[in-house]
Amino acid sequence: MTQADQNGKIVRLKPEPRIIPRDQHNISRSVISDNALKVLYRLKNAEYKAYLVGGGVRDILLGREPKDFDVVTNAKPEQIRELFRNCRLIGRRFRLAHVRFGDDVIEVSTFRAPHHVSDSKGEGHIEDGRIIRDNVYGDIDDDVWRRDFTINALFYNIEDFSIIDYVDGVKDLEAGQLRLIGDPAQRYIEDPVRMLRAVRFASKLGLRIHPGTEEPISEYAPLLKNIPPARLFEEISKLFMAGTALQTFESLRHFDLFKYLFPQTDYLLDTNEDNYPHTFIMHALKNTDQRLNEGSSVTPGFLLAAMLWEPMRVVADEHIAHGLPEMEAVQLAADTVISRQILTTAMPRRFTQMARDIWSLQVRLKRTGKRSFRVLMHPKFRAAYDFLLLRAQAGESVANLVDYWTQEQLNEPLAGKNKIKSGYYKPRPRRRPRSRKRNNKPDS
């Protein structure tokens, strides 16, 4: 049973959940993946408790198609691995089991006990309020209070197909609001990433953030500086790759969270007198949303190139002013800007390299003429061309380049990977290697 205090905080009185029977909700096994059902039933048949939990339950209740399904159980990770040969245990801070069915992964976690509880192995460890290690196990009555938002703390019971709701999550879904469980300040101190998750869920699901959940964000936002760069990159991917990147960006700026993800870009957005950086980013994010909603692929490398375009140009202009050629200036600026960025968000090299390629190709796209075909055949040409289109949409004077490279693509139909039909580009004939003269002198 729960009650909200005057600040809207969810306070635990006693563990008496609301049980919503099958005939009073819209979750059916027909909308749950076969692989998730296999995991649930195998755990149940092995006499373990098993529940669908989190986003899968939430999305079905909202009438959305779930992207993944998470399972929670009282079985320990090692016991889960014994049941599933296709299981892999991952994580140190938070031990999980991944049950893999081809490309489909069902994440299975074990009920967690309260944060302050520790065991003889020191698996429940908190420093300065932050959760450092979190592998002390409990039951569903403990686990629910460990979850972040009420809408993510709904359990679907495979035993009788009911929904178990301890925290009025269903009411919050019906009211269209996002609310943290427990004291928001304490929850943000435990894990500052919850502030980013609040923005992401609100933008993705079209919810408003409850005033009690929203109010402490500005005070505790600086705690994001202590989050490992690799984890922040994971959050960036989730924030901007969900089809609501533009709205997410505006919310991050509103709550002053964006600067902890892209500090160089945020600084220029605040100090640049013209509106170009903001306009360019908005066009890039709108394009990202459109592609994702159409089912097209989007790579974080392109997003990175867009987010850091203006910081890179500022540094490159400084190098050019000191006499460096444009290409060299861009390459040197790319090194500087990306080196600074990865101190905040550690991005895989394949994405940072893609950003470098896109930026370098912006210089090469200015050079029209006989070498056009070589630019067209660059593996990242299409991404660089799309980037050029964004620059034009944002107001840069590059329309003539857009027209030229659009026409070049029409003029160069490719037959095979590298073969062209047009005649103006003729590869140089291969030279035969010179044959070495044999030394016919006898050995002395």
Residues designated catalytic: 68, 70, 148
**DSSP line for 91-125:** -SSS-EEEEEETTEEEEEEEPBPPTT---TT--EE
In angstroms, the CA 83 to CA 50 distance is 13
Bridge-partner residues for 209, per DSSP? Answer: 178
Are 378 and 361 within 8 A, CB to CB?
A: yes
Angle at 383 between CA 402 and CA 428, to 5 degrees: 80
In angstroms, the CA 245 to CA 82 distance is 41
In angstroms, the CA 199 to CA 194 distance is 9
Angle at 35 between CA 235 and CA 39, to 5 degrees: 95
In angstroms, the CA 249 to CA 200 distance is 10
Question: Measuring CA to CA, which residue among 128, 136, 51 is closest to residue 93?
Answer: 136
Are 155 and 191 within 8 A, CB to CB?
A: no
Q: What one-letter code names the amino acid at 261? A: L
- The encoded tokens of residue 288 equal 């990202």
- The encoded tokens of residue 365 equal 């796209």
> Quick check: helix, strand or coil at residue 127?
strand
- The encoded tokens of residue 176 equal 């269209």
Please list the alpha-helical segments (H only) found in 126-275: 140-143, 169-175, 184-190, 193-205, 211-214, 217-220, 229-240, 245-254, 263-271
**DSSP line for 246-294:** HHHHHHHHHTT-GGGT-HHHHHHHHH-SSSHHHHHHHHHHHHHHHHHHT
In angstroms, the CA 90 to CA 69 distance is 17
Report the relative pairing of strands 10-12 and 2-4 from DSSP bridges. Answer: antiparallel
Report the relative pairing of strands 177-178 and 208-209 from DSSP bridges. Answer: parallel
Count the alpha carbons within 13 Å of 389 in the hemisphere toward its beta carbon: 11
Are 113 and 145 within 8 A, CB to CB?
A: no
